[in-house]
Structure 1
Amino acid sequence: MKKETQIGYRVSAICGAVALAFAGLHAMPAQAHGKNDVKHVLLISFDGLHEQDVARCIGSNACPNLALLAKSGVTYTNAHTPHLSDSFPGLAALLTGGSPKSAGLFYDVSYDRTLYAPLDSTCTGAQGWNVVFDETTGIDAKGGGPLINLDGGGAFNPDAIPYAKVGGVCTPVYPHNYIKTNTVFEVVKEHIRGSRTAWADKHAWGYDWVNGPSGKGVDDLARTEINSIDPKTGTYYLDTYTHTEVFDNIHVQALINEIDGLDSTGKTSAAVPTVFGTNFQTLSVAQKSPVADNGGYLDADFTPGPQVAAAITYLDGALGRVVSELKQRNLYSSTLIIVTAKHGQSPTDHTKLVKNGDTLTKLLEASNYLDSSGNFGQNNTTTGNLNDGSGLSGTGFVQTDDVGLIWLRDQSQKDAVVKTLKANLGCTAPGICADGPQAYILHGERLEHWFGDPANGRTPDIIVQPNPGVIYTSSKSKDEEHGGNAPDDSHLGLVVSFPGLHHGGRTDDRYVYTTQVAPTILSALDLDPDLLHSVQVEGTRTLPGLGIEHEHSQDRD
């Protein structure tokens, strides 16, 4: 029997009458014309985009292109990340329908107790590896080399690839092997005949996981590395937000090429992708920039400072270019457009900013829960370069930004560690600045419910959410960060737009997670959302308020 889903494109007069009858209980849902109106889905992540940014810029006409999309869609005012907001879990939510519990992605720098070091190709040494899938995953970084190529050197850095025993065989674990669930790209490739998929992101090789476990989900994965050197200037794309625009423009052009029937490089003819999209970094860089340099926000009301205001103007212009190309190629009316973010940024209110250094790691080291000299994971490589393959195995690890993820060296010490943390909650050294009402130390049953059992090897033993505004750093180069579950990290902008929707231009204030984007994409393409493994495991629902039901088949011609 064919399963009914929450979104789709076969609407009867009876369904319309029912919707009208319940209009008094909730705003009238959007509706679309026919079953197969949506032929393409474009997903765009403006990293750092808060819901308040969307409301403010639309209200002030600072983002006219996004406002036009909102007029033919639904704006979700209460959308949130699934408890963690690093780029990896943030994008995994959008592409898999799952939180770290099922997707297995907690951070681009994390730890897995079951893995072996990249130099241990026989899997005979100690288990437990500090996995780093970031800019150093490209071969340019091998041996600590400079990241001189936009494509990261054109291959994986072999020293960044750990090993696992699979069926008794010592097997390399590439990023696409590391993710534990399938992606929308894989489902579309398997179930829509003749489909094509494309994606572009900020790290050329670390984001290989978007391919999913098959390693083949994305036909056109643009290998672009934001940490590489711009050959025109000899400087990094991340040095200023205006230079980050240069990098983001590469992604804009990739989308335009794909809309025009070419691959992302513009060199080869290719079908217009069924599902495609990209990530933008300009806003994130402007938000992190110190207030003294006109970065970030002016107040707790999300009034943008000069850099953030300029970044939002740039992003809206980029969005306008892409939408204009869709219209020019007669694809706009058949393309569902989703604008959201992997994560927000914290703190928006800089009066809450606290940078006391990495007091969490220092406390763990001082208490001998991690090596007292910092010799754990990839903090102790032979060359001093990250991802040279020689870091220590089996040492445990701690990852900090505006959150602390703790993988203990000795899991039997968990209760003692929690006791030590609770005894040092204040903001005076050696305190971890987690004494406020929105801070917590997550462990035990609650942690397992949210993120899975640490005994399985991937989930941290303890997660520390400090007071909103705390960043575990002394860096003077940034005044905002992300990764945790502070309100400014997790409350995101989300606009779903399709010109065929009736009763568009609505807002929906129900609490939703960004995990609901992935099943919505599949359902819009007339595919069963349960084809995503994370959707089955976590019971993820499609986004509400679009209000269109349909019957679908497992495969689509």
Structure 2
Amino acid sequence: MKETRDTQKWHRASAIFGAVALAFAGLHAMPAQARDKDDVKHVLLISFDGLHEQDVARCIGGNTCPNLALLAKSGVTYTNAHTPHLSDSFPGLAALVTGGSPKSAGLFYDVSYDRTLYAPLDSNCTGTQGWNVVFDETVGIDGKGGGPLIHLDGGGAFNPDAIPYAKVNGVCTPVYPHNYIKTNTVFEVVKQNIPGSRTAWADKHAWGYDWVNGPSGTGVDDLARTEINSIDAKTGTAYTDTYTHTEVFDNIHVQALINEIDGLDSTGKTSAPVPTVFGTNFQTLSVAQKSPVAKQGGYLDADFTPGTQVAAAIAYLDGALGRVVSELKQRNLYSSTLIIVTAKHGQSPTDHTKLVKNGDTLTKLLEAGNYLDSSGNFGQNNTTTGNLNDGSGLSGTGFVQTDDVGLIWLRDQSQKDAVVKTLQANLGCTAPGICADGPQAYILHGDRLSDWFGNPSNGRTPDIIVQPNPGVIYTSSTGKDEEHGGNAPDDNHLGLVVSFPGIHHGGRTEDKYVFTTQVAPTILRALDLDPDLLHSVRAEGTRALPGLGIERERD
């Protein structure tokens, strides 16, 4: 019976995506609605992590985000924008800057697995292949040996124990984050094709986000090395302890943008041209959304009525946006800057009544079936020092990444059918069930998984992906009531506003189903560059966003 329901859901999904593809195919026939795209000299990309489409509609309608509302009046608000099936920060940002899903970009999570890699301590590539890749806050040198994260810049260098190896043309070669991404980025394309151009970006992990540089390693001229999980020297506490403390971290990014608009580098210490493409990530809203409802975090109801923390976070973000736009106007750059406000991911569940936290039942079920070590000793869970990312974890073990999704890389790929059978026999929410028995849940594997994410035989793609019922988080933590990473509705339905003063008939909404991957070709079209210069755009046939007057038929 479950196979039948899965098949039916797959056919329905295929029909929807087919209709979406046909809709995209006709976009080139739309009349132009913007001034000559050569008027766009700069593109500012801002990610308010956690921003749902409903947040945008509610705050504009309630006049609680006046600065975003002003941008919307001179632009297009997309009411049906979605992530490409996964919503962790890595695939979320990769969609925006490569034009591709994990299938082409190769980024599934900041903590993932690759069967082709060797351990960081295996610099001769003579040991077992298969490594649990961890590109998070521990990638900075401060994280070496489990050290305290005391520097905002992560210590100023990579943690060598966090860098795995691969054989490249027979040579054992280190794999830094920029080597790990499989396709190029808008930053590389702009630098390579617009003489005198400059690029800049700031994000939440100082060294884990090195991949925005693209495979060249040099795509971003000014990559601000800021680590959100570092200790604030002024307070001795983490920036994520409260959403108001996260504002302090996000203000560093606001100042970086203002410095860049003023003709300086992100630190404000050195003169530099205003970037052609630049932007940043904000974390305040995400922290407020995750905060327990008992502490006034999250939302009050299924209608996205914000709780105290979320309402204050949205107000903060709107104020930050206003400061940046004001600086563009002060420097006479506003009329030549395309501004894109969106998010890498949403957050789930916004309806607190749907929250289910039964613990990591998925991993426990796999361990009980001997598909993983019964003591959890797989990958980075089994280091000799007990410190994550010290390079000594077991290789060749497979891996499971869980949040409100489950990504499964099997130790033995020949066991896939047996694992799927075990999962399907335990769909309920009663232990040891994985809470995937609802109509919006699914177990993705085989041809269907390959169509969406690539063939697991390539070494990077998970063997199985479990999307549980919306509201399920595979944790028993009392510190958060929302999470992201999967394909639940609250994860993947995002806010997206594209603003440019030259857009005629601004203030419109566009309700066509679009993916956030369409942002990247839109950036290149706006700068009069061919989107096919992006490898992912060419591989996946990604089109520019509709309704801006810059989309046209692919060559």
Which of residues 259, 262, 270 in structure 1 aligns to 2:261? 259
Deviation of residue 34 (structure 1)? 2.8
Deviation of residue 481 (structure 1)? 0.1
Q: 1:12 to 1:431 in 2, by over 3 A?
A: closer
Q: 1:441 to 1:194 in 2, by over 3 A?
A: same
Which of residues 118, 126, 129 in structure 2 aligns to 1:127? 129
- The SS at the match of 2:422 is helix
Cα deviations by residue, 1:116-159 (Å, 9 ceiling, x for unpaired): 00000000000000000000000000000000000000000000
Deviation of residue 21 (structure 1)? 19
Cα deviations by residue, 1:454-475 (Å, 9 ceiling, x for unpaired): 0110000000000000000000
- CA contact under 8 A between 2:522 and 2:550: conserved in structure 1? no
The range that moved more, 9-18 or 149-158, is: 9-18
What CA distance in whole angstroms lies between the structure 1 residues aligned with 2:11 and 2:488?
37
Q: 1:25 to 1:175 in 2, by over 3 A?
A: closer
Q: 1:333 to 1:444 in 2, by over 3 A?
A: same
The range that moved more, 369-378 or 203-212, is: 369-378
What CA distance in whole angstroms lies between the structure 1 residues aligned with 2:317 and 2:259?
18
Deviation of residue 24 (structure 1)? 15
- The SS at the match of 1:5 is helix
What CA distance in whole angstroms lies between the structure 2 residues aligned with 1:162 and 1:496?
38
Deviation of residue 82 (structure 1)? 0.1
What CA distance in whole angstroms lies between the structure 1 residues aligned with 2:101 and 2:13?
32
Deviation of residue 61 (structure 1)? 0.2
Deviation of residue 18 (structure 1)? 23
Deviation of residue 548 (structure 1)? 3.8
Deviation of residue 23 (structure 1)? 18
Q: 1:337 to 1:410 in 2, by over 3 A?
A: same
Cα deviations by residue, 1:180-219 (Å, 9 ceiling, x for unpaired): 0000000000000000000000000000000000000000
- CA contact under 8 A between 1:6 and 1:548: conserved in structure 2? no
2:312 matched residue in structure 1: 310
- CA contact under 8 A between 2:254 and 2:324: conserved in structure 1? yes
Would you identify which runs of 4 or more consecutive aligned residues in structure 1 move more than 4 Å? 3-30
Which of residues 172, 178, 181 in structure 2 aligns to 1:179? 181
What CA distance in whole angstroms lies between the structure 1 residues aligned with 2:279 and 2:27?
35
Sequence identity of aligned pairs in percent? 91
Q: 1:19 to 1:73 in 2, by over 3 A?
A: farther
Q: 1:412 to 1:334 in 2, by over 3 A?
A: same
- CA contact under 8 A between 1:258 and 1:270: conserved in structure 2? yes
What CA distance in whole angstroms lies between the structure 2 residues aligned with 1:467 and 1:193?
49
Cα deviations by residue, 1:90-124 (Å, 9 ceiling, x for unpaired): 00000000000000000000000000000000000
Cα deviations by residue, 1:409-429 (Å, 9 ceiling, x for unpaired): 000000000000000000000
Q: TM-score, normalised by structure 1?
A: 0.94
- The SS at the match of 2:408 is strand
Deviation of residue 5 (structure 1)? 36
Q: 1:39 to 1:388 in 2, by over 3 A?
A: same
Cα deviations by residue, 1:212-262 (Å, 9 ceiling, x for unpaired): 000000000000000001111111000000000000000000000000000
Q: 1:181 to 1:7 in 2, by over 3 A?
A: farther
Q: 1:20 to 1:213 in 2, by over 3 A?
A: closer
- The SS at the match of 2:494 is strand
Contiguous gaps of at least 5 residues in structure 2? none
- CA contact under 8 A between 1:19 and 1:29: conserved in structure 2? no
Deviation of residue 46 (structure 1)? 0.1
Q: 1:26 to 1:262 in 2, by over 3 A?
A: closer
What CA distance in whole angstroms lies between the structure 1 residues aligned with 2:255 and 2:104?
34
What CA distance in whole angstroms lies between the structure 1 residues aligned with 2:12 and 2:292?
51
What CA distance in whole angstroms lies between the structure 1 residues aligned with 2:406 and 2:28?
40
What CA distance in whole angstroms lies between the structure 2 residues aligned with 1:497 and 1:4?
40
Deviation of residue 7 (structure 1)? 34
Q: 1:330 to 1:48 in 2, by over 3 A?
A: same
Q: 1:457 to 1:65 in 2, by over 3 A?
A: same
Deviation of residue 301 (structure 1)? 0.1
Q: 1:181 to 1:8 in 2, by over 3 A?
A: farther
The range that moved more, 275-284 or 21-30, is: 21-30
* Aligned 1:336-351 pairs, distance under 5 A: 336-351=338-353
- CA contact under 8 A between 2:27 and 2:552: conserved in structure 1? no
In the comparison of the two structures, how many residue pairs are matched?
551
Deviation of residue 4 (structure 1)? 40
Q: 1:520 to 1:375 in 2, by over 3 A?
A: same
Deviation of residue 36 (structure 1)? 1.3
- CA contact under 8 A between 1:10 and 1:548: conserved in structure 2? no
What CA distance in whole angstroms lies between the structure 2 residues aligned with 1:4 and 1:383?
43
2:388 matched residue in structure 1: 386
Q: 1:216 to 1:4 in 2, by over 3 A?
A: farther
2:321 matched residue in structure 1: 319
Cα deviations by residue, 1:385-412 (Å, 9 ceiling, x for unpaired): 1100000000000000000000000000
Contiguous gaps of at least 5 residues in structure 1? none
Q: 1:68 to 1:5 in 2, by over 3 A?
A: farther
- CA contact under 8 A between 1:7 and 1:547: conserved in structure 2? no
2:245 matched residue in structure 1: 243
Measured on the aligned residues, the alpha-carbon RMSD in Å equals 6.3
- CA contact under 8 A between 2:34 and 2:549: conserved in structure 1? no
The range that moved more, 205-214 or 19-28, is: 19-28
1:462 matched residue in structure 2: 464
What CA distance in whole angstroms lies between the structure 2 residues aligned with 1:302 and 1:322?
27
Cα deviations by residue, 1:415-451 (Å, 9 ceiling, x for unpaired): 0000000000000000000000000000000000000
What CA distance in whole angstroms lies between the structure 1 residues aligned with 2:469 and 2:283?
26
